[in-house]
Amino acid sequence: MKDLRASLAEHRLVAILRAPDAARFADAAMVLHAAGVRLLEATLTTPGAPAAITALRLALGEDALIGAGSVREPSDVDIAVDAGAAYLITPTVNPAVLERAADLDTPVVCGALTPTEIDQAWRLGAAAVKVFPVAAVGGVAYLRAIRAPLPDVPLVPTGGVHLADVEGYLRAGAIAIAAATPLLGDALSPSGSLPDLAARAGEFVAAAGRFATA
């Protein structure tokens, strides 16, 4: 758990891979990794995601942390861990998921939105709390308001996080940000542009890197 939090604080950025299928996950992940992204999340709502997690772990080795997203049930925990996921990300607070993850010694970035949900996720043992969907409820201003009464909880704003928002979230106290479409764009579609992804990834990494820890 400390290793995941340290990685979040060091790199400040999680790239979310979500698509109708996982056919382009490997290509996109290699581009992201080359640009400096070191934490990637493959969502279990994507058919083929477990196999993609396994492949990415083998391809990138210890130089990246590959996690599983959209983990909602204890059975999802087993699927993700069996695939080799180094950490789990949930969209909601499900105590049974956190309990099963703890049994398997796998850290969780637990999805929550309200102060009560965020506090519950933290007390249930989350390594960090994903504030989702953050843009829909006020973005940076909402995160800043949440941080005031919960300063000890490491928060990862997610959902509509654009490049222009990265500095604001990190200045407001987020341990890291997670980005899907604003970062990936069309790169996961068959005709999507990987060079454009490389350019966007470089910009996101540079923005997050200004707040990275040594």
Q: Please identify every residue annotated as catalytic.
A: 41, 130
Surface-to-core class of residue 63, CB atoms within 10 Å of its CB (0-12 exposed, 13-18 middle, 19+ buried): exposed
d(CA 190, CA 174): 34
Provide the 8-state DSSP code for 190: T
Exposure pattern of 178-204 as b/e (b: 16+ CB <10 Å)?
Answer: bbbebbbbebbeeebebeebbebbeeb
Residue count of the chain, please give it. 214
Nearest to 61 by CA among 33, 80, 89, 81: 33
Q: Are β-strands 108-112 and 155-157 bridged in parallel, bridged antiparallel, or unpaired?
A: unpaired
Question: What are 31's two structure tokens?
Answer: 């581009």
Question: What are 104's two structure tokens?
Answer: 């398997």
Q: Are β-strands 108-112 and 39-43 bridged in parallel, bridged antiparallel, or unpaired?
A: unpaired
Per DSSP, what are the bridge partners of residue 158? 178
